[in-house]
């Protein structure tokens, strides 16, 4: 299995398209950092537009933690599209090159073969996320410094202490890994049905775009069903940046407001991974491979 995985990882990282995502992430992160470095106060004014006339901000709200929050908010909608570029190509790419039939004729079970391919795409997603963490979190901390974090929601502002944030980011990145692997498993699932990678890549992107739009639309019809969209749970990492409040309404550092809900979202994503990957293996084991 380990040998198979190494071969698949070699294949993934040998393809130039794999590095498109890393370059794209670097470009987006750099642009966001540059924008906040140059025009950060204006962005903050926009976020605090309802309170800036009545409140003064003390401390340094435009710090590395805030920049990383903005980057994650922006990237974790778009990075799934980049992950799909690789995962949706795992089987369809082989079929397109005419190597799939040859591959399954080897004395390795189809299940092992597919698992190694899925794990390779999952590892790729995790490495991409680590790249985001290096650029988005650590580089931002180095450039902008650290301080408390203002998490502006639609109806409230949550203020986190500077020493109460880093562990939340570790949890958030762990959760984001689960979200990206879900996308990876979806792309992988579509990949077994196609003879070239374009179809599954577009199909995966379409599902993510449609579900994300439906998740963000504040229309009651979609609000009732959005719990069924996995994209609604992909933003569960934000749950780590909310705190419980005591009886007097003061936030309690070191707590997560609704941990069961975050764990439920993580469970739903895990279920999606199992269903997509399991279905892909089940269908592929019964598939007549002709290419």
Partner 1 sequence: MTLLHKKRNQLKIVSVMLVLTSFFLLLTSFRKELTADELLKKVKAKMDKVNDYVATGKMKTDVVFIKAPIANIKSYYKKPNRFAIKRDGGVSLLPKGGVSVNVSSLLLTEDYTAIDAGKTTLGTTAVRIIKLLPLSEKSDVVLTTMYVDEANLLIRKASTTTKENGTFDMEMQFGKYAEWGLPDKVLFSFNTKDYKLPKGITLEYDDGSKKPELPKNKKGKVEITYSSYVINKGVSDAMLK
**How far is it, in rounded angstroms, from Cα 158 to Cα 168?**
14
Smallest separation, CB 259 to partner 1 (Å): 9
User: Hunting for tokens 């279920």 — which residue is that?
Assistant: 271
What does the radius of gyration of the chain's CA atoms come to, in whole angstroms?
21
Of residues 91-150, which lie at the interface with partner 1 (CB under 8 A)? Answer: 147-150
CB under 8 Å to 160, separation ≥6 — which residues?
148, 149, 150, 151, 168, 241, 243, 251, 253
**How far is it, in rounded angstroms, from Cα 33 to Cα 45?**
17
**How far is it, in rounded angstroms, from Cα 258 to Cα 260?**
6
User: Hunting for tokens 């995985």 — which residue is that?
Assistant: 5
Q: Which of 248, 286, 288, 290 binds partner 1 (CB under 8 A)?
A: 248
Q: Contact at 8 Å (CB) between 241 and 168?
A: yes
Q: Which is nearer to partner 1, 50 or 282 (CB)?
A: 50
Q: Contact at 8 Å (CB) between 121 and 90?
A: yes
Q: Which of 32, 184, 236, 266 binds partner 1 (CB under 8 A)?
A: 236
User: Hunting for tokens 């975050």 — which residue is that?
Assistant: 262
Helix (H, G, I), strand (E, B) or coil at 86: helix
Smallest separation, CB 61 to partner 1 (Å): 5
Contact string 59-88 vs partner 1 (x = CB under 8 A): xxx-----------x---x-----------
Q: Which is nearer to partner 1, 157 or 270 (CB)?
A: 157
Smallest separation, CB 275 to partner 1 (Å): 21
Q: Which is nearer to partner 1, 187 or 239 (CB)?
A: 239
Structure tokens that stand for 23 in this block: 């370059």
Smallest separation, CB 210 to partner 1 (Å): 16
- Does 156 contact partner 1 by CB under 8 A? yes
Q: Contact at 8 Å (CB) between 113 and 101?
A: no
- Does 227 contact partner 1 by CB under 8 A? yes
Smallest separation, CB 95 to partner 1 (Å): 36
- Does 47 contact partner 1 by CB under 8 A? yes
Smallest separation, CB 104 to partner 1 (Å): 41
Smallest separation, CB 33 to partner 1 (Å): 19
**Quick count: other Cβ atoms within 10 Å of Cβ 242?**
21
Structure tokens that stand for 265 in this block: 């979202």
**How far is it, in rounded angstroms, from Cα 193 to Cα 165?**
43
Q: Which is nearer to partner 1, 40 or 239 (CB)?
A: 239
Of residues 158-217, which lie at the interface with partner 1 (CB under 8 A)? Answer: 158-164, 216
Point out which residues bind partner 1 (CB under 8 A): 47-48, 50-51, 53-61, 73, 77, 147-150, 152-164, 216, 218, 226-227, 232, 235-239, 242-243, 245, 248-253, 257-258, 261-262, 264-265
């Amino acid at each position: 299995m380990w040998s198979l995985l190494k071969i698949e990882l070699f294949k993934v990282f040998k393809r130039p398209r794999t590095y498109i995502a890393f370059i794209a992430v670097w470009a987006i992160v750099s642009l966001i950092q540059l924008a906040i470095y140059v025009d950060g106060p204006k962005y903050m004014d926009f976020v605090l537009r309802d309170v800036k006339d009545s409140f003064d901000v003390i401390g340094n709200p435009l710090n590395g933690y805030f920049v990383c929050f903005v980057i994650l908010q922006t990237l974790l909608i778009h990075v799934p599209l980049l992950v799909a570029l690789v995962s949706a190509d795992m089987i369809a790419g082989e079929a397109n090159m005419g190597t799939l039939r040859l591959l399954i004729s080897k004395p390795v079970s189809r299940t092992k073969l597919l698992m190694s391919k899925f794990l390779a795409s999952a590892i790729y997603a995790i490495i991409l996320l680590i790249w985001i963490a290096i650029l988005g979190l650590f580089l931002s901390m180095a450039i902008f410094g650290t301080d408390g974090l203002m998490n502006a929601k639609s109806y409230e502002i949550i203020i986190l202490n500077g020493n109460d944030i880093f562990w939340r980011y570790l949890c958030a990145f762990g959760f984001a890994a689960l979200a990206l692997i879900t996308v990876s498993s979806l792309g992988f699932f579509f990949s077994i049905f196609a003879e070239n990678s374009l179809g599954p890549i577009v199909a995966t992107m379409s599902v993510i775009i449609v579900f994300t739009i439906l998740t963000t639309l504040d229309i009651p019809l979609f609000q009732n069903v959005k719990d069924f969209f996995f994209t609604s749970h992909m933003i569960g990492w934000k749950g780590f940046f909310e705190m419980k409040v005591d009886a007097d309404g003061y936030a309690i550092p070191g707590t997560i407001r609704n941990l069961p809900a975050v764990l439920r979202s993580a469970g739903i994503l895990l279920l999606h991974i199992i269903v997509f990957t399991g279905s892909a293996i089940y269908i592929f084991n019964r598939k007549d491979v002709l290419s």
